[in-house]
């Protein structure tokens, strides 16, 4: 009887079927791991922003000032020294129109970029990056939350987007419809469900 040096068609089909089954089982695990990694980056950003806003408030005895819509300024600019971006802060002219902002302001520091939101919005050449996060101060501006920016809201990052907390959660968020949120002067990041579909 001669020795075989090749596989039969049936053996190849069985091997390919096994590989196909393994890939089918592995793909959801890889996707789930990727999603958790992206969510962890977003949570870390929120945690860093929360600490930076709290440091600003402790140093200045106030929350960052609100800026008029369409102008450069607000919380995202005022906290730059507290996220190791003092050199960028020194180059910024608060109060100029966003549409006249210099090119170095078009790209935001990474900490302001929610990776999920950035994937949804995508970059637009020649335009300022959209902010992945919004500040939600209390009415008396003695405390705040910082949350993911709602999908329907588009703030240029350097204009310090602010909204009321209830207005944020009435809209769809980037994380399965909800939002990650960090409450001022407290540790931790929480998930907040959107109430937009609530009666």
Q: Collapse the DSSP code of 114 into the 3-class scheme (helix H, G, I; strand E, B; otherwise coil) and give the result.
A: coil
Instruction: Tell me the pLDDT band of 3, cut-offs 50, 70 and 90.
Output: low
Examine the pLDDT at 198 and tell me if it is beyond 60: no
Mean pLDDT, rounded, for 158-179? 92
Examine the pLDDT at 197 and tell me if it is beyond 60: no
Percent pLDDT > 90 in the chain is: 59
> Alpha carbon of 20 to those of 13, 23, 29, 165: distances in Å?
10, 5, 15, 47
d(CA 182, CA 146): 5
d(CA 49, CA 35): 21
Token pair for 139: 């009415």
Examine the pLDDT at 199 and tell me if it is beyond 60: no
């Amino acid at each position: 009887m001669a020795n075989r040096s090749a596989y039969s068609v049936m053996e190849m089909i069985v091997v390919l079927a096994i590989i196909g089954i393994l890939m089918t089982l592995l793909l959801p695990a890889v996707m789930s791991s990727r999603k958790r990694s992206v969510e962890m980056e977003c949570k870390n950003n929120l945690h860093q922003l929360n600490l930076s806003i709290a440091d600003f408030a402790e140093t200045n005895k106030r929350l960052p000032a609100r800026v008029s819509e369409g102008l450069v300024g607000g919380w995202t600019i005022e906290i730059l020294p507290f996220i190791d971006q003092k050199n960028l802060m020194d180059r910024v002219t608060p109060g100029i129109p966003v549409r006249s902002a210099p090119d170095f302001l078009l790209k935001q520091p990474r900490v302001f970029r929610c990776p999920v939101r950035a994937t949804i919005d995508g970059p637009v050449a020649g335009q300022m990056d959209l902010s992945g996060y919004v500040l939600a101060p209390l009415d008396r501006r003695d405390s705040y939350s910082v949350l993911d920016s709602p999908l329907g809201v588009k703030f240029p990052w350097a204009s310090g987007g602010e909204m009321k907390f209830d207005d944020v959660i009435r809209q769809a968020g980037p994380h399965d419809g909800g939002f990650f949120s960090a409450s001022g002067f407290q540790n931790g990041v929480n998930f907040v469900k959107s109430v937009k579909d609530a009666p």
